[in-house]
């Protein structure tokens, strides 16, 4: 339970600074510190148990199906890291209180910082692989926030982005690796995973898993070649650098390697990848650090090289090297954190971090200088300081390294060279800043920092000394505990004494000292030599690379999505062709076994006319009006075909729709060019023709194959139940209003919505009307020819009567609400054509929108009516009445439904056409637009 | 008869497809209308062809499959609504963009296409 | 006799329709085409009536009636288009 | 009494509301429209939740329209899958309406009625058990979406509209061809009945049915924006006004749902000679969609475009899952579907506010003046970005992990893992660039733009809040999705259930 | 065969002949204005007689008076002249060619701009 | 309905009658039910459409009107025969031409009726009406004697119309 709180407290703690943001800065800092402090206390309380050799663990189910549990696990390694995270974290909080200026948003900063702390704790305490990854990514994110804290600075943004991208990518690799491990082991529980090392190492996928996990670790721990992001993360406020980029986050990668050491290490592959990467990084970092003029830059590269050192140690596959690694983790955390803080103080008090300006600060801040010098000495590995001890162990390990066979001698040599440079840059840190003449035009005159800003540094430096002098007592137990949980077994013998007598490691240390000092003394030449090489700015390179890639993507996308509908349609239709043609190829016999109808002359002629007029529509398509007339011929013939093949309702519908469509097309054509320019090049034409031909062919074939095969369908049911169950003899109509009433409801909804949408379009439309026709003749002045007006208006009542007739008989004979509606609208449109919009508008003031609405409403309501009788939506009701002298007649809910259809159709068509007509009339409808 | 019918459907489809692939809005609309005629005939025939069998009870001895007829009716109406919308949209695009090309911008002239 | 007449006349109407389409494609002017379309409407009324008689079913009467109405409307609309361009104003 | 009609309510409620909004006393009165529409939205969520609970506890709900039993009448089927999507739609529409109250609803006519009809169409598509009725509902939601797309007017919308509408018109024609083929061979329209018929199909109809099924797949893929039919998506979504784009986030899912439904039930593993009809096609193209989505995400010049391409990414991901054709994959996909839909919707809304507050540069990814609510919107954007990238602690990572796990046992892993992980990386790069540019690369001051109102922003928060909740209650949700997926794949049981009900 | 069928057959034949002639005229006549005469007239009578036949037959075959065909005739009688008129107006407006040698071209020009015809 | 403020139950009595007849024609029956419904529609529809009707003179002499109708019917049959013969006969014999018929009636309805009759009868189509409605332009398929033609039209068709509408 305590474990949970150790994690939860800081999490809740993130809210504290946010809520306290209005308070004074010291108070914020104090309040912020409470949660981590309590967590630390809790940790120390549970620590004894761990020292007694048990592994504390608690776990709760979270998302079992994903294998993700909230599982906490505290062993030696976790304890060590948790201590570092919380301990140094608290110091950082104190330090940041003084580092941040008044204009920085302190609450936010602390919130981010604690969030990060939580994430780190989550990593080290987690007992479930997925949960580990969860917190791993959380560190990337929170560090992004911290690095970009001064978001107005370009380098802060870029640095943060770079860090996020690199570590994020690593995180994805890690996820893959962890999932793979989980798959191999069959569980994501860390305990089980750690228990199945052999299974893993012998599994075929081991190399992949290893590489993936290491990618994660290396990217996080800034190992070559992923090291480049770390220096640019220095754009962060120094407390962040001290915490994330020395003590904790960059150690997460190390932690990961240590964590999985028992199951992944011990193979050739592990040695080669890990140790060689480590060595490379060690040398590179140490060398580059020397040439950095920025204090933090120097420290950053030194961090890189020390991380390389630890990695190298972990890679060397011997138990002692592992112990050394763990020991150096501790030491590096301590001295590097203090160095960063010192650097921060210098920066804070002198206004710059450039060592070319910073000189002889000893005079101004002797106390800080002393602290910094001790820490730097420890970094250089000077005896009596903690850095010295782990470095000795390191040298010792390099010496009995045999895996490289006859080349093994290289390891100690290269290690020494690395050490030489680390001495050199440490020397520079000391001499170039605190001595070496007078400061050169500093922004401020430096002086000692506020009392409490120094305290953290003092504590850490004290630790450097104490650990350096009494290692065995102070760090011995913790070290052995942590190391044993890394090795996962009995520890080898090792002594933490300062003096092992004169031996090779000591000699190497001495060489390093002297060599380092020598190099620093003659640095001018080295700097001059280094100046010959251009110094690439990783930020620029990285950004450039990303931008080039983005541009490339944009190019590709532009090529693909070239905004040409013709291409899109072509692809769509081509896909359709392929998908339909594929199966049809397998079909061996196109013709089925159903006896076919004989061809009669009339139908033959009809087909001929249909074909010819369709072709004419295409061939004459550039003369738009002509092709429009042709189109309506096609429509006419199609409806004749429907009539021919015993579908009178379809014939009627097709006829009326076709005429309304034509009127619509005419209205539109008036505002469009009267002819289509010739712009398709021959290749395009051939392409389209062949595609069209092929699709037509395939559709025709399918159609033929289909209708020459027998069909047993559900329709018999409709024929049988139409009268008894639907109360109508016109089965088609009964299907429409009863069996499949929902389709009809949807269909009229579509019509109504279309009308609304079209009205939307029209209201905002600005079109000029052409002053002459295509021949250049002016329009006839005779707006409303007399004869047309007279005849149309006398036809109107007749037409309405007919539509009533069609409507009423619909249920039993061809007809119905839809056709009736179209007849009505056509009749009214005829009035518009003959008499004009204004004439009609003045005389019949109907808001067609309401007609549409009420039509739909009636239809829906009719459907809902059946609810009153406890029947489902659209359940129809009908009955026959036979009152005296009126005669037998039927009443059916379907008729009411059909009335809804009727109204919707009328409303929709008129809403469209009438408003389209208004388009060129004086009053523009745009006034209606507002609300 | 079935062959003749299928041929006509295929022909209509081809014509519709070809026009749909044109670059200007009006021919495209005409093409879509043709295509929808073809579709309706196709869907209609899925109930097989029948003469003298209107699905009105008592009007004939054996009836044509009424279901596809109902479906086609729905399809016709929906097709009408859609055609109307795309047509007005084409006008709107002429109004907003100053040309009647489906892409809203005129293509490069044939010369610089090559 | 009757069937014979029906067959013959349907043939005649078909020929008529073919002639109409011919004129429709031939043009030469738009009025010719409108006239041809109008005639087609009327001839198809004839065809439907013949079909109705042949089938002996009144189901197709409405179709004929409708064509009569709609043919007029579309002819009027097309003519108005030639006259005014804007058919609803 | 309502209980008995529960399965129909998610469709009828918005339909009725749509009508009422067109009639007095509500007609043409913005204030009343807002009040009414929002309350309907809340009601819709309540109903959908109820339906979800009922289906989850009492099993699949069926609703026989007109009291005609299957396979003859149309029926609505609310199983776990469809109820989940219906609820998702409810949340989405409420959010987008809340946002619209900020003023987007008055930049054109009939906003709320159209939204209502759109929802009716979407829910109908999710609930119907009849293939032709599915077509009808597709058309309803399409026509509504056309009208909503051009809401607010402007060149881009018209231009995008032309492409969107015409492509979908052709798509609808193809749908009808497919329907013709399937009815002409199987003689039925009820999806379950089709499945039953397909299982013992006469030899000489095989090819035809196959053609029909594949054509259907094409149509659904067009709606789902599967490469190479995806072209309409980016520009359409980028052009639409924010609340509309947010609602559109569900539209691709309708296509995906249809593929899940039809090509699992009718052409699924048990379909005899037509088993796994879709998979060989889905595989390569879903993968390509993912790749193109990645490119698009990186290439996006504006936040809307970015969000649109993120939708494309999710489409690729979801169809890859469909290609795996395993309950585990579908279960993961469902979780991911809900998550990605909500978050991409939130991104569209955010793009809207950001665009407004930045003035001239709008939501284009260039330096501009500071926002008037940087903290608030920054936080929202940060959450949305992390969620969609798949970074903890938000819902994205669960979905990713589940998908990766589902793929891990298959041979396709070698393709799918890199694709999924890289798509995550691409979004990471793109969104970090976008965010830092929009919120941090600012110059000058922001005198003019007024801060977005609480009601408007509540729409965004509603969507974003879902993400952490989906993580916290992950176990419950994943259990649900798993059951939904198993139910989906248990075709035999479904058939007996639906067709058996005809005798009862 | 009964005599009603016979009469009907005759009507049908007459109708057919007129319809055919109308369409022949549409092809055969040289200019628009002349073509206009053929269908507008021939069809009225043609259809009329067809409808007569239909009336006869339906009335004889069914038990009721089937005279609704009259409606169609009525419709056509009302609409046909107006259609012709509108088409002629249009033709005049777009200056459709007239066959050379046709009389009253001055009148036609007057008609084209709906003004008074100048005398002589 | 602002068009005509004073409400009349039968705004167009003749129309109403016509509608009732047509309704019965449509239904092919005299059943009381149809009569009832027909009557209802005959009253209802005119009420709906009345506002859209331009006021027109009503016929003063129905009997004369009847006679005129029959006469025109006869002429139509004649016309058809003539035209048929002309069409199939040799084209060279035809002498097409335009004629301007001066009008002495002004109201729209009579003019319309006249024009229609002209169009329906022997080889004439009324093409255009002059702006001032004083001249009706007619195309003649075979123009033998212009003056004679005009005279026939005026006395055979226009005169009766004048009487019927009493103008
Ligand atoms: Na210096
Ligand atoms: Na107009």
| Backbone φ, ψ for residue B101 (5° rounding) | -80, 145
Rounded Cα gap, residues E91 and E98, in angstroms: 10
3-state DSSP assignment of residue B105: coil
Chains D and E physically touch (3 or more Cβ atom pairs below 8 Å): no
Q: What is the pLDDT of residue C70?
A: 92
Q: Is the pLDDT of residue A304 over 70?
A: yes
Closest residue, chain D, to B48 (C-alpha): D184
Neighbours of F59 (CB within 10 A): 19
Of the listed ranges A410-414, A526-530, D246-250, E27-31, the least confidently predicted one is A526-530
Q: What is the pLDDT of residue D448?
A: 66
| Residue E119 to chain C, least CA–CA distance (Å) | 27
Q: What is the pLDDT of residue E119?
A: 59
At A926, is the pLDDT very low, low, confident or very high (cuts 50, 70, 90)? very low
B66 touches chain D (CB under 8 A): no
| Backbone φ, ψ for residue A909 (5° rounding) | -60, -45
At A929, is the pLDDT very low, low, confident or very high (cuts 50, 70, 90)? very low
B98 touches chain A (CB under 8 A): no
Give the CA distances from residue A629 to residues A172, C77, D113, in Å, rounded to whole numbers and listed in that order: 63, 11, 37
3-state DSSP assignment of residue A590: coil
Tokens of residue D177, six digits: 């061809």
Candidates A597, A611, A647; nearest CB to B44: A647
Query: Percent of chain C, pLDDT > 70?
Result: 100
**Exposed/middle/buried for residue A449 (C-beta within 10 Å: 0-12, 13-18, 19+):** buried
Q: Is the pLDDT of residue F2 over 50?
A: no
Express each pLDDT in A175-194 by its tens digit: 999 999 999 999 999 999 99
Q: Is the pLDDT of residue A278 over 60?
A: yes
Rounded Cα gap, residues A695 and D107, in angstroms: 42
Express each pLDDT in A720-749 by its tens digit: 999 988 888 999 999 999 999 999 999 999
F159 touches chain A (CB under 8 A): no
Residue range D179-195: mean pLDDT, rounded: 94
Residue range C1-16: mean pLDDT, rounded: 90
Q: What is the pLDDT of residue B85?
A: 95
The residue of E39, E60, E97 whose CB has the most chain C CBs within 10 angstroms, and thus the best one to mutate to test that interface, is: E39
Closest residue, chain A, to C6 (C-alpha): A602
Closest CA to D334 of D64, D80, D37: D80
* Chain centroid, CA A301 distance in Å: 33
At A843, is the pLDDT very low, low, confident or very high (cuts 50, 70, 90)? confident
F150 touches chain E (CB under 8 A): no
Q: Is the pLDDT of residue A922 over 60?
A: no
Closest CA to A91 of A144, A48, A146, A29: A29
Chains D and A physically touch (3 or more Cβ atom pairs below 8 Å): yes
Candidates A596, A711, A916; nearest CB to B1: A596
* Chain centroid, CA D453 distance in Å: 27
Could you say which ligand is closest to the alpha carbon of residue A769?
A: 2
3-state DSSP assignment of residue A891: strand
Chains C and D physically touch (3 or more Cβ atom pairs below 8 Å): no
Report the mean per-residue pLDDT for chain A.
89
Q: Crossing angle for the helix pair A276-291 and A295-315, nearest 10 degrees?
A: 160
> Do you find a cis peptide bond into D474, omega within 30 degrees of 0?
no
CA of A46 to the centre of ligand 1 (A): 47
CB contacts < 8 Å between A and F, how many?
A: 76
At F94, is the pLDDT very low, low, confident or very high (cuts 50, 70, 90)? confident
Q: Residue F79 and residue E41: Cβ atoms within 8 Å?
A: yes
Q: What is the dihedral of CA B59, B64, B65, B67, to 10 degrees?
A: -50
Rounded Cα gap, residues D337 and D322, in angstroms: 12
Q: What is the pLDDT of residue F50?
A: 82
CA of A916 to the centre of ligand 2 (A): 6
3-state DSSP assignment of residue A663: helix
Residue range D307-317: mean pLDDT, rounded: 94
Q: What is the pLDDT of residue A930?
A: 31
Alpha-carbon torsion (D21, D22, D27, D31), positive or negative: positive
**Exposed/middle/buried for residue A201 (C-beta within 10 Å: 0-12, 13-18, 19+):** middle
Three-class HEC string of D391-436: CCCCHHHHHHHHHHHHHHCCCCHHHHHHHHHHHHHHHHHHHHHHHH
Query: Percent of chain C, pLDDT > 90?
Result: 65
CA of A923 to the centre of ligand 2 (A): 12
Q: Residue F98 and residue E104: Cβ atoms within 8 Å?
A: yes
Q: What is the pLDDT of residue F6?
A: 56
Tokens of residue A423, six digits: 């001495």
Q: What is the pLDDT of residue A927?
A: 33
Greatest mean pLDDT among A418-422, A674-678, A911-915, A925-929 lies in A418-422
C14 touches chain A (CB under 8 A): yes
Give yes or no for a contact between A693 and B23, defined as CB atoms under 8 angstroms apart.
Answer: no
Q: What is the pLDDT of residue D502?
A: 61
Rounded Cα gap, residues A351 and A349, in angstroms: 6
Q: What is the pLDDT of residue B113?
A: 44
E79 touches chain A (CB under 8 A): yes
| Residue A73 to chain D, least CA–CA distance (Å) | 20
Contact residues for A394 (Cβ-Cβ < 8 A; gap 6+): A309, A313, A321, A324, A328, A415
Residue range A139-146: mean pLDDT, rounded: 92
Domain assignments of chain E as residue spans, ordered by start = 3-82
Give yes or no for a contact between D118 and D15, defined as CB atoms under 8 angstroms apart.
Answer: no
Q: Is the pLDDT of residue F119 over 70?
A: yes
| Residue F5 to chain E, least CA–CA distance (Å) | 30
Give yes or no for a contact between D120 and A749, defined as CB atoms under 8 angstroms apart.
Answer: yes
At E69, is the pLDDT very low, low, confident or very high (cuts 50, 70, 90)? confident
Express each pLDDT in D13-60 by its tens digit: 999 999 999 998 988 889 999 999 999 999 999 999 999 999 999 999
Q: Is the pLDDT of residue A928 over 50?
A: no
Q: What is the pLDDT of residue B86?
A: 94
Express each pLDDT in A383-402 by its tens digit: 888 888 888 888 888 888 77
**Exposed/middle/buried for residue D27 (C-beta within 10 Å: 0-12, 13-18, 19+):** middle
Q: Residue C74 and residue A608: Cβ atoms within 8 Å?
A: no
3-state DSSP assignment of residue D19: helix
Give yes or no for a contact between E29 and E22, defined as CB atoms under 8 angstroms apart.
Answer: no
Q: What is the pLDDT of residue B30?
A: 95
Q: What is the dihedral of CA B66, B71, B77, B83, to 10 degrees?
A: -130
Closest residue, chain F, to E30 (C-alpha): F91
Closest residue, chain E, to A790 (C-alpha): E82
Express each pLDDT in A151-168 by its tens digit: 888 889 999 999 999 999
CB contacts < 8 Å between A and B, how many?
A: 316
Q: Is the pLDDT of residue D270 over 70?
A: yes
Q: What is the pLDDT of residue A840?
A: 87
Q: What is the pLDDT of residue D427?
A: 95
Q: What is the pLDDT of residue F167?
A: 66
Rounded Cα gap, residues A109 and E42, in angstroms: 96
Q: Residue E81 and residue F132: Cβ atoms within 8 Å?
A: no
Q: Is the pLDDT of residue A914 over 90?
A: no
Chains linked to B by 3 or more Cβ pairs within 8 Å: A, C, D
Q: What is the pLDDT of residue F4?
A: 46
Q: Which domains does chain C have, with CATH numbers?
A: 2-84 (1.10.287)
Closest CA to A108 of A163, A158, A151: A151
Q: What is the pLDDT of residue A410?
A: 86
Chains linked to A by 3 or more Cβ pairs within 8 Å: B, C, D, E, F
At D75, is the pLDDT very low, low, confident or very high (cuts 50, 70, 90)? very high
Express each pLDDT in A453-496 by its tens digit: 999 999 999 999 999 888 888 888 899 999 998 887 778 888 87
Closest CA to A238 of A368, A162, A342: A342
The structure tokens 């067959």 sit at C7
The residue of D132, D162, D174, D235 whose CB has the most chain B CBs within 10 angstroms, and thus the best one to mutate to test that interface, is: D162
Q: What is the pLDDT of residue F106?
A: 84
| Backbone φ, ψ for residue D409 (5° rounding) | -85, -5
At D503, is the pLDDT very low, low, confident or very high (cuts 50, 70, 90)? low
At A554, is the pLDDT very low, low, confident or very high (cuts 50, 70, 90)? very high
Q: Residue A696 and residue B17: Cβ atoms within 8 Å?
A: yes
Residue range B12-29: mean pLDDT, rounded: 94
Express each pLDDT in D435-493 by its tens digit: 999 998 888 776 667 888 889 999 999 999 999 999 999 999 999 999 999 999 998 88
Q: Is the pLDDT of residue A818 over 70?
A: yes
Interface pTM (ipTM) of the complex?
Answer: 0.94
Rounded Cα gap, residues D136 and D172, in angstroms: 10
Rounded Cα gap, residues A134 and A122, in angstroms: 8
A636/B105: higher pLDDT: A636
Q: What is the pLDDT of residue E57?
A: 86
Residue range D71-88: mean pLDDT, rounded: 94
Rounded Cα gap, residues D443 and D426, in angstroms: 28
Report the mean per-residue pLDDT for chain F.
84
Q: What is the pLDDT of residue E1?
A: 56
Express each pLDDT in E108-119 by its tens digit: 888 888 888 775
> Do you find a cis peptide bond into D393, omega within 30 degrees of 0?
yes
| Residue D450 to chain B, least CA–CA distance (Å) | 29
Candidates E24, E36, E81; nearest CB to F88: E24
**Exposed/middle/buried for residue A360 (C-beta within 10 Å: 0-12, 13-18, 19+):** middle
* Residues of chain A contacting residue E115, judged by C-beta atoms under 8 Å apart: none
Candidates B24, B77, B87; nearest CB to A668: B87
Q: Is the pLDDT of residue D260 over 90?
A: yes
Q: What is the pLDDT of residue D140?
A: 96
B59 touches chain C (CB under 8 A): yes
Q: Residue B89 and residue D158: Cβ atoms within 8 Å?
A: yes
Three-class HEC string of chain C: CHHHHHHHHHHHHHHHHHHHHHHHHHCCCHHHHHHHHHHHHHHHHHHHHHHHHHHCCHHHHHHHHHHHHHHHHHHHHHHHHHHHCCCCC
| Residue D314 to chain A, least CA–CA distance (Å) | 18
Would you say how long chain D is, in residues?
504
């Amino acid at each position: 339970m305590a474990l949970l709180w150790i994690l939860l407290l800081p999490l809740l703690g993130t809210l504290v600074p946010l809520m306290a943001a209005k308070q004074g800065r010291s108070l914020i800092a104090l309040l912020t510190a409470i949660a981590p402090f309590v967590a630390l206390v809790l940790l120390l309380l549970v620590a004894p148990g761990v020292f007694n050799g048990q592994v504390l663990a608690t776990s709760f189910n979270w998302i079992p199906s994903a294998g993700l549990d909230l599982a906490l696990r505290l062993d030696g390694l976790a304890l060590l890291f948790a201590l570092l995270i919380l301990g140094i974290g608290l110091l950082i909080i104190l330090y940041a209180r003084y580092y941040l200026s008044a204009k920085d948003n302190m609450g936010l900063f602390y919130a981010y910082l604690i969030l990060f702390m939580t994430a780190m704790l989550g990593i080290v305490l987690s007992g479930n692989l997925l949960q580990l990854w969860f917190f791993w990514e959380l560190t990337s994110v929170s560090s992004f926030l911290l690095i970009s804290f001064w978001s107005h600075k370009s380098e802060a943004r870029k640095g943060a982005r770079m860090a996020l991208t690199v570590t994020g990518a690593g995180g994805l690799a890690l996820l893959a690796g962890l999932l793979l491990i989980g798959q191999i082991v069959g569980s994501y529980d860390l305990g089980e995973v750690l228990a199945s090392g052999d299974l893993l190492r012998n599994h075929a996928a081991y190399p992949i898993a290893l590489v993936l996990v290491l990618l994660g670790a290396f990217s996080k721990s800034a190992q070559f070649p992923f090291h480049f992001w770390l220096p640019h993360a220095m754009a962060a406020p120094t407390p962040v650098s001290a915490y994330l980029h020395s003590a904790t986050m960059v150690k997460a990668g190390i932690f990961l390697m240590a964590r999985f050491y028992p199951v992944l290490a011990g193979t050739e592959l592990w040695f080669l990848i890990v140790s060689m990467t480590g060595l490379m990084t060690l040398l590179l970092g140490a060398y580059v650090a020397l040439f950095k003029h920025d204090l933090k830059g120097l420290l950053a590269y030194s961090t890189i090289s020390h991380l390389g050192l630890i990695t190298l140690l972990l890679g060397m596959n011997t138990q002692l090297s592992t112990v050394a690694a763990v020991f150096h983790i501790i030491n590096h955390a301590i001295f590097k954190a203090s160095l960063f803080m010192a650097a921060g103080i210098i920066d804070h008090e002198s206004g710059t971090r450039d060592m070319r300006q910073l000189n002889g600060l000893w005079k101004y801040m002797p106390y800080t200088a002393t602290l910094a010098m001790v820490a730097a000495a420890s970094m250089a590995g000077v005896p009596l300081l903690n850095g010295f001890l782990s470095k000795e162990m390191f040298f010792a390990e390099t010496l009995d390294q045999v895996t490289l066979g006859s080349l093994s001698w290289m390891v100690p040599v290269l290690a020494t060279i690395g050490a030489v440079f680390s001495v050199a840059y440490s020397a520079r840190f000391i001499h170039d800043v605190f001595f070496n003449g007078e400061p050169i035009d500093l922004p401020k005159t430096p002086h000692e920092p506020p009392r409490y800003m120094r305290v953290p540094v003092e504590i850490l430096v004290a630790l450097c000394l104490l650990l350096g002098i009494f290692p065995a007592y102070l760090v011995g137990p913790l070290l052995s505990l942590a190391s044993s949980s890394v090795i996962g077994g009995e520890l080898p013998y090792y002594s933490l004494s300062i003096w092992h007598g004169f031996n090779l490691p000591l000699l190497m240390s001495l060489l390093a000292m002297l060599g380092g000092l020598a190099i620093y003394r003659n640095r001018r030449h080295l700097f001059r030599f280094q100046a010959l090489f251009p110094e690439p700015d990783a930020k620029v390179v990285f950004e450039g690379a990303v931008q080039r890639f983005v541009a490339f993507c944009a190019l590709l996308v532009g090529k693909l999505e070239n905004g040409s509908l013709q291409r899109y349609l072509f692809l769509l239709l081509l896909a359709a062709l392929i998908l339909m043609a594929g199966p049809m190829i397998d079909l061996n016999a196109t013709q089925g076994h159903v006896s076919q109808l004989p061809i009669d002359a009339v139908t033959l002629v009809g087909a001929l006319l249909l074909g010819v007029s369709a072709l004419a529509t295409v061939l004459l398509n550039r003369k738009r009006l002509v092709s429009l007339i042709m189109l309506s011929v096609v429509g006419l013939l199609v409806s004749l075909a429907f009539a021919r093949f015993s579908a009178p309702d379809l014939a009627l519908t097709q006829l009326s729709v076709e005429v309304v469509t034509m009127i619509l097309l005419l209205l539109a054509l008036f505002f469009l060019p009267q002819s289509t320019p010739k712009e398709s090049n021959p290749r395009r034409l051939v392409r389209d023709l062949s595609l069209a031909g092929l699709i037509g062919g395939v559709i025709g074939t399918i159609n033929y194959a289909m209708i020459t095969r027998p069909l047993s369908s559900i329709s018999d049911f409709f024929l049988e139940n139409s009268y008894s169950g639907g109360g109508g003899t016109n089965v088609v109509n009964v299907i429409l209003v009863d069996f499949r009433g929902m389709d009809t409801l949807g269909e009229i909804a579509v019509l109504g919505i279309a009308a609304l949408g079209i009205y939307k379009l029209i209201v905002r439309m600005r079109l000029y009307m052409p002053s002459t026709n295509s021949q250049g003749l002016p329009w006839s002045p005779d707006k409303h020819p007399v004869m047309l007006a007279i005849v149309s208006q006398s036809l109107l009542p007749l037409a309405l009567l007919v539509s009533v007739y069609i409507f009423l008989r619909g249920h039993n004979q061809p007809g119905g609400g839809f056709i009736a509606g179209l007849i009505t609208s056509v009749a009214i449109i005829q009035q518009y054509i003959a008499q004009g919009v204004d004439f009609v508008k003045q005389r019949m003031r109907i808001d067609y929108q309401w007609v549409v609405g009420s039509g739909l409403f009636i239809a829906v309501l009719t459907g809902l009516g059946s609810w009153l009788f406890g029947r489902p939506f659209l359940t129809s009701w009908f009955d026959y009445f036979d009152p005296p002298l009126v005669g037998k007649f039927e009443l059916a809910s379907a008729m009411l439904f059909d009335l809804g259809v009727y109204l919707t159709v009328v409303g929709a068509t008129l809403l469209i056409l009438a408003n389209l007509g208004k388009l060129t009339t004086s009053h523009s409808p745009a006034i209606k637009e507002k609300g | 008869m079935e062959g003749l019918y299928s041929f006509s459907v295929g022909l209509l489809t081809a014509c519709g497809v070809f026009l749909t692939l044109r670059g200007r809005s009006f021919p495209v609309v005409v093409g879509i209308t043709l295509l929808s005629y073809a579709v309706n005939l196709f869907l209609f025939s899925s109930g097989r062809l029948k003469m003298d069998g209107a699905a009105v009870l008592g009007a004939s001895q054996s009836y044509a499959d009424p279901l596809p007829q109902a479906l086609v009716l729905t399809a016709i109406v929906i097709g009408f609504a859609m055609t109307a919308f795309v047509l007005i949209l084409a006008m709107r695009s002429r109004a907003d963009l100053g040309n009647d090309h489906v892409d809203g911008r005129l293509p490069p002239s044939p010369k610089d296409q090559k | 006799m009757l069937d014979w007449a029906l067959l013959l006349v349907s043939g005649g109407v078909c020929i008529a329709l073919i002639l109409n389409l011919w004129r429709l494609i031939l043009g030469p002017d738009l009025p010719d085409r409108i006239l041809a379309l109008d005639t087609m409407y009327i001839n198809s009324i004839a065809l439907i009536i013949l079909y109705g008689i042949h089938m002996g079913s009144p189901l197709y009467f409405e179709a004929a009636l409708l064509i009569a109405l709609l043919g007029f409307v579309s002819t009027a609309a097309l003519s108005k288009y030639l006259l005014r361009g804007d058919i609803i104003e | 009494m309502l209980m008995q009609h529960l399965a129909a309510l998610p469709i009828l409620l918005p339909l009725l509301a749509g009508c009422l909004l067109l009639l007095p006393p509500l007609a043409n009165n913005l204030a009343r429209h807002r009040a009414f529409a929002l309350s309907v939205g809340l009601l819709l969520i309540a109903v959908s939740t109820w339906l979800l609970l009922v289906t989850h506890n009492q099993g699949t709900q069926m609703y026989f329209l007109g009291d005609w039993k299957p396979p003859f009448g149309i029926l609505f089927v609310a199983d776990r899958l469809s109820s989940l999507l219906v609820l998702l739609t409810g949340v989405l529409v409420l959010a987008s309406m809340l946002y619209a109250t900020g003023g987007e609803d008055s930049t054109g006519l009939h906003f709320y009625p159209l939204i209502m009809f759109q929802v009716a169409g979407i829910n109908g598509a999710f609930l119907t058990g009849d293939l032709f009725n599915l077509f009808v509902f597709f058309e309803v939601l399409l026509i509504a979406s056309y009208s909503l797309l051009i809401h607010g007017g402007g060149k881009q919308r018209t231009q995008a509209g032309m492409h969107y509408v015409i492509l979908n018109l052709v798509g609808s024609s193809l749908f009808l061809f497919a329907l013709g083929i399937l009815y002409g061979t199987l003689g039925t329209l009820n999806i379950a009945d089709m499945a039953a018929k397909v299982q013992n199909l006469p030899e000489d109809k095989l090819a035809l049915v196959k053609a029909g099924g594949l054509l259907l797949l094409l149509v659904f893929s067009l709606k789902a924006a599967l490469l190479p039919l995806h072209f309409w998506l980016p520009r359409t979504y980028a052009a639409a006004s924010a609340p509309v784009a947010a609602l559109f986030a569900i539209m691709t899912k309708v296509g995906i749902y249809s593929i899940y439904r039809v090509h699992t039930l009718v052409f699924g593993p048990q379909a005899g000679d037509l088993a796994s009809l879709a998979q060989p096609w889905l595989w390569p193209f879903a993968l390509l969609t993912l790749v193109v989505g990645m490119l698009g995400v990186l290439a996006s010049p504006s936040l809307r475009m970015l969000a649109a391409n993120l939708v494309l990414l999710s489409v690729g991901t979801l169809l890859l899952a469909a290609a795996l054709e395993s309950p585990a994959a579908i279960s993961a996909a469902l979780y991911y579907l809900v998550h990605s839909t909500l978050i991409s919707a939130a991104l569209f809304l955010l793009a809207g506010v950001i665009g407004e507050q930045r003035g001239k540069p709008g939501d284009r990814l260039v330096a501009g003046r500071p926002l008037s609510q940087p903290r608030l919107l920054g936080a929202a954007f940060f959450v949305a970005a992390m969620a969609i990238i798949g970074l903890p602690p938000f819902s994205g990572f669960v979905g990713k992990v589940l998908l990766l796990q589902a793929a891990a046992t298959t041979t396709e892993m070698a393709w799918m893992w890199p694709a999924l992980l890289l798509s995550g990386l691409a979004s990471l790069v793109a969104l970090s660039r976008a965010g830092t540019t929009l919120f941090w690369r600012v110059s000058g001051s922001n005198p003019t733009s007024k801060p977005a109102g609480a009601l408007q922003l509540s729409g965004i928060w509603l969507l974003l809040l879902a993400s952490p909740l989906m993580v916290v209650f992950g176990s419950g949700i994943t259990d649900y999705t798993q059951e939904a997926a198993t139910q989906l794949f248990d075709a035999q049981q479904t058939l007996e259930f639906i067709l058996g009900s005809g005798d009862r | 065969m009964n005599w009603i069928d016979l009469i009907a057959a005759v009507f049908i034949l007459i109708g057919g002949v007129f319809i055919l002639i109308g369409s022949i005229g549409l092809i055969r006549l040289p200019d628009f204005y002349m073509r206009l005469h053929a269908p507008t007239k021939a069809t009225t009578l043609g259809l009329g007689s067809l409808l007569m036949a239909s009336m006869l037959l339906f009335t004889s075959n069914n038990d009721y008076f089937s005279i609704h065909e009259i409606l169609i005739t009525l419709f056509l009688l009302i609409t046909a002249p107006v259609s012709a008129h509108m088409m002629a107006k249009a033709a005049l407006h777009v200056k459709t060619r007239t066959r050379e040698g046709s009389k009253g071209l001055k009148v036609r020009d007057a008609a084209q701009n709906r003004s008074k015809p100048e005398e002589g | 309905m602002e068009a005509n403020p004073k409400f009349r139950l039968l705004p167009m009595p003749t129309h109403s009658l016509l509608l009732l007849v047509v309704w019965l024609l449509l239904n092919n029956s005299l059943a009381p039910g149809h009569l009832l419904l027909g009557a209802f529609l005959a009253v209802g529809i005119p009420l709906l459409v009345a506002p859209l009707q331009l006021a027109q003179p009503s016929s003063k002499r129905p009997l004369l009107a009847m006679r005129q109708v029959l006469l025109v019917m006869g002429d139509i049959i004649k016309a058809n025969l003539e035209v048929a013969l002309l069409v199939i006969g040799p084209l060279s014999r035809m002498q097409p031409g335009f004629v301007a018929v001066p009008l002495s009636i002004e109201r729209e309805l009579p003019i319309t009726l006249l024009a229609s009759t002209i169009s329906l009868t022997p080889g004439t189509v009324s093409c255009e009406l002059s702006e001032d409605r004083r001249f009706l332009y007619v195309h003649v398929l075979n123009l033998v004697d212009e003056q004679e033609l005009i005279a026939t039209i005026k006395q055979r068709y226009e005169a009766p119309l004048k009487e019927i509408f009493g103008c």
